[in-house]
Structure 1
Amino acid sequence: MEHDYQLIFEKLFNQYGPQNWWPADSPFEMMIGAILVQNTNWRNADKALRNLGNLLEPEIMFHMSETELAERIRSSGFYRLKAKRIKAFMEWFNSYHFCVENIKKRDKDTLRNELLQINGIGRETADVMLVYAFEKPVFVVDAYARRIFYRLGYDMPATYDAFRQQVEEHFPSDVQLYNEFHALLDEHAKNICRKKPLCSKCPLKDVCAQRF
């Protein structure tokens, strides 16, 4: 079937409205949150962010010991591993003097490659940082997007980057639209297109193959 990503976006936006993502007070908090939420839910990641409190500053976290950091983010699960990942990320961030505006000047592909070289930063984490911290137009592929597109009847590529590129080739290169699209897909998967979907309430039911 023909893939109409803009139609999906419009129907979801009409249903849910603007999502105001990512839930964070600063780009730095957003990026740390993106690492903390790996392999857990947002509730646990958010608790870890709150436990960091006023220590959630680049210079402070750069100099914080890995042991102390791990204890403060314990609620996020895999906390020792995530502490290592955050410290590796901080080394990279320090190379830009913790200046998000300087990083934004880098072109998207170069910046993405740099992020993927950081220990513990995979494609999904890199892409949410690109969209929500560095304002680059990138489609974020996650389990929710895969679920929704599969059920709609779309035969999406198996690999992450091929999936991402297929959407990007047919969707406007606008960072705000990508910001909203990722958030709307996640909202829809949590509320309607659940593991056991509520198809009768779905704003996409008239274009969905209901493939389960």
Structure 2
Amino acid sequence: MSPERLRRVFRLLSDHHGPMHWWPGETPFEVMVGAILTQNTAWSNVERAIAALKEAGPLEPAALLALPEGELAARIRPSGYYNVKARRLRAFCQWLLDAGGEPALRAHPTERLRPALLTVKGIGPETADDILLYALERPVFVVDAYTRRLFSRLGLAPADLPYEALRAGVESALGPDVPLFNELHALIVNHGKSVCRPRPRCGDCILRRDCPAADGI
């Protein structure tokens, strides 16, 4: 993967869209909760679910575990798949407390922490990397559907490249850079929602001149 092309994509997207200020959250734990709730839903739905959780009390692992599972599910209903996500939240909160809480997580190297996160039921690679990058500020690039679509159209990576290979390719090309990974991923998501959609708006795309797929989709 070309470092020069990746950095050019970043510069063009940044100049066009401006700062993303992502991920929204008052605390690292709120970011972690958001990473679980955002699975298969729009962020606006997650915001409603988090607001409902805050109405029940402090947004803390022990407080969420103290809620009856039915009430927890009802409060996160706006995020969709609320019964499944309630179980996932409870599993994650218990794991987090057993691990010693957020401060204890920060003491572990990423090479040890990432596999540990992936043992939690309902935490897959993308959710784990959201938590690592945005909540714990680790230099881990997040791969999602927007990344795959954009990189495939730009010819940066095949659409079917395995998650770990694509993540490692970006990290190797750009080097360990938390602010860059944070902003690049947020810009890709924003661009994927507004321009590089399944039915793309190529005429509005700042990357059009660099995109072999432009107007040919």
User: Is contact 1:153–1:209 with CA below 8 Å preserved after alignment?
Assistant: yes
Moved more, 54-63 or 140-149: 54-63
Matched residues in 2 for 1:126 and 1:57: separation? 19
CA offset digits 1:55-77 (Å, max 9, x no partner): 32222112222222111111111
Would you say 1:103 and 2:105 are equivalent positions? Answer: yes
Counterpart in 2 of 1:45? 46
Matched residues in 2 for 1:173 and 1:191: separation? 28
Counterpart in 2 of 1:148? 150
Where structure 1 has 5 or more consecutive residues not aligned to the other structure, the ranges are none
Matched residues in 2 for 1:164 and 1:152: separation? 16
Where structure 2 has 5 or more consecutive residues not aligned to the other structure, the ranges are none
User: Is contact 2:10–2:184 with CA below 8 Å preserved after alignment?
Assistant: yes
Matched residues in 2 for 1:73 and 1:20: separation? 24
Q: Equivalent residue of 1:170, what SS?
A: helix
Counterpart in 2 of 1:125? 127
Matched residues in 1 for 2:7 and 2:151: separation? 13
User: Is contact 2:31–2:131 with CA below 8 Å preserved after alignment?
Assistant: yes
Would you say 1:189 and 2:192 are equivalent positions? Answer: yes
- CA drift of 1:2 comes to 4.7
Counterpart in 1 of 2:23? 22
CA offset digits 1:15-50 (Å, max 9, x no partner): 112111101111111111111111111111111111
Matched residues in 1 for 2:11 and 2:51: separation? 34
Matched residues in 2 for 1:155 and 1:12: separation? 18
User: Is contact 1:104–1:135 with CA below 8 Å preserved after alignment?
Assistant: no
Structure 1 runs (4+) greater than 4 angstroms displaced:
none
Length, aligned pairs only: 211
Counterpart in 2 of 1:113? 115
RMSD: 1.6
Q: Equivalent residue of 2:174, what SS?
A: coil
Counterpart in 1 of 2:179? 176
Moved more, 116-125 or 167-176: 167-176
Would you say 1:164 and 2:167 are equivalent positions? Answer: yes
2:96 to 85, 89, 93: 93
| TM-score of the superposed pair, with normalisation by structure 1 | 0.93
| TM-score of the superposed pair, with normalisation by structure 2 | 0.91
